[in-house]
């Protein structure tokens, strides 16, 4: 975990997909953004608010819970407690998410 901002770590990358872990301290946030890829997020540790389309439409996810975002669907998340999120992203995007 990083005290100042979320931290991400690429776990696996192929031509077709990438798996990334995001580490967020309570209150840290990945801002709303879009991607040409589909994204499956799973909470590995903690609890968070997951934005679906906008920041007013949220899903609360606990450990071992997942949410699937369609291509071009605005998404982001905020840690309600220290949280690790795994994102499976396909196809492998060329742009990096600004943290």
Whether the pLDDT of residue 98 is over 80: the answer is no
Write out pLDDT tens, residues 45-86. Answer: 999 999 999 999 999 999 999 999 999 999 999 999 999 999
* Percent of the chain topping pLDDT 90: 92
Contacts of 34 (CB under 8 A, 6+ apart): 72, 73, 74, 75
Over 80: is that where the pLDDT of 94 sits? no
* Percent of the chain at pLDDT exceeding 70: 94
In this prediction, residues 9-36 reach a mean pLDDT of: 96
Interatomic CA distance for residues 17 and 40, integer angstroms: 11
CA atoms within 13 A on the CB side of 14: 6
Quickly name the fold that domain 7-90 has: Jelly Rolls (2.60.120)
31-64: buried (b, 16+ CB within 10 Å) or exposed (e) per residue? eeeebebbbebbbebbbbbbbbeeeeebeebeee
């Amino acid at each position: 975990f990083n005290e100042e901002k979320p931290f991400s770590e690429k776990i696996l990358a192929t031509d077709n997909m990438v798996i990334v872990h995001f580490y967020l301290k309570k209150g840290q946030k990945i801002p709303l953004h879009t991607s040409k890829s589909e994204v499956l997020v799973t909470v590995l540790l903690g609890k968070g608010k997951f934005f679906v389309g906008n920041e007013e439409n949220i899903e609360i996810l606990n450990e071992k819970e997942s949410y699937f975002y369609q291509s071009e669907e605005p998404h982001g998340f905020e840690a309600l407690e220290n949280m690790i999120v795994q994102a499976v992203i396909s196809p492998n995007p060329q742009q990096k998410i600004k943290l």
